[in-house]
Amino acid sequence: MSKTYLTTANGAPVADDDTSISAGERGSLTFDNVHLFEKLAHFNRERIPERVVHARGYGAYGTFTLNKDLSDYTIADFLQGADKKTNVFLRFSTVAGGQDSSDYVRDVRGFALRFYTEQGNYDIVGNNTPVFFIRDPAKFPDFIHSQKKDPKTNLPDPAHHFEFWANHPQAMHQITILMSDRGIPGSLRHMNGYGSHTLSLWNKEGERFWVKWHFKTNQGIETLTNDEAAKQPGDGMQRDLVEAIERGDFPGWSVKIQMMTDEQAKQCEFNPFDLTKVWPHKEFPLNDIGTLELNRNVGNYFAETEQVAFAPSNLVPGVGVSPDKVLQGRLFAYADAHRHRLGVNYQQIPVNKPICPVHHYQRDGVMAGASGCSVTGHLQNADVNFYPNDRSDAPVPAPQFGEPSMPLENHAWLKAYDSSDEDNYSQAGNLYRIMSEVQKQQLVSNIVDGLSQATESVQSRMVEHFTRCDEDYGQRIKALLLK
């Protein structure tokens, strides 16, 4: 069997990897240490910018199996015909902490899913909660700043969390979920996932249907208390996921959607595009459409999990977005973050590369590759780089895949719900009232642990917000704060 020889990056064999070239046995190093300089220079550049949010993540490959034909609602190829299988990549993450944070912090978990469809990559970039803290993307940087470490001490500060929330009562629904028993999952396999945003499907007749995606864990829900979480190893969730897949215990989720027609959206008593709201299941029941299974770990964490680049703007024919304002902001922000972290050609990285041919007139940039390149394989060597052109074999638009227009006529969504009297409390109160006594006690205790560190003004406003959700909810928090 022939040996595999160590080489430099340009392919030249390396004679010695243990000793640098020096001017004599005890002399200084010389300037012709090409291999040494290459190793040190590359080592200095191994790290790319950390994600501002969702930095600590864990990913795996799997399969989505459609069990219900959705051709009446969409032309999306991966939703056509029962038993259709589509390869996927799923990345879990915490939101606020950096890569050095624990798996077991009380935090929302990212649940970002990519479908490698025959007409491009479709990303559903959601969380393990069906709602979020804000309804306008202008507040996202402020919200994340409030959840990060104190800019002076570089230490976590719960007082900042509650100071932001006291000024943004739209967060009450998400706070109630985060501070409940579901705030710390027992494992990544034992939590649900949600598209969170209202998304849409559209069919060949040009009809649009608003949808909410749900991924219900088949392993059952498991959660941890603060005390239980404190006893776990910092990397326990990632280890659990990797080891489960390695031993063939493939985690799965039942995939369901809620659906709403245009007319139902117009008549809805609440804004169906508000990210702080859920759609009541009695009015908009869950429809089972398939199963999601994770069955293969990544081969290289950095190349795949760290460089995978999800974006809500990754759409395919038959699926679309909605007037959800936070979603609209993310259509720009996510892809822009990837261009910053990975370069303008980030979609040519293998984990981000579509399985279908890619043809466009975008050119150059860092890491641009020609057709046939093992890394990129995009159309960089064509003899024309502009459109329109006179070449008969050059890429042309496909008008048959044109998406129906979003409604902007009178009584359209964008203004109908833009009011100062938005209901921030009812759904949070409804959630509180269905909790068991044990769950209520845990919820209140978790809230007071952090709220007790805030100013009296913040405490007073938060108690008022909780009371507007439910009288008992607010009074329990007030009483525990006074102890």
Q: What is the number of other CB atoms lying within 10 angstroms of the CB of residue 36?
A: 15
Phi, psi angles (nearest 5°) of residue 61? -95, 160
Specify the DSSP element, H or E, that contains 216: strand 208-217
What is the identity of the amino acid at 117? Answer: T
Q: Which of 35, 121, 127, 168 is catalytic?
A: 127
Contact 356, 165 (CB under 8 A): no
Phi, psi angles (nearest 5°) of residue 65? -115, 120
- Distance in angstroms (rounded) separating the CA atoms of residues 462 and 112: 31
Nearest to 70 by CA among 80, 78, 60: 80
Q: Residues 6 or more apart from 151 whose CB is under 8 A from it?
A: none
33: annotated active-site residue = no
The residue written with tokens 């749900």 in the block is 214
54: annotated active-site residue = yes
On the question of a cis peptide bond just before residue 388, with omega within 30 degrees of 0, the verdict is yes
Q: Which of 35, 54, 160, 190 is catalytic?
A: 54
The residue written with tokens 């902007």 in the block is 408
**Positions marked catalytic:** 54, 127
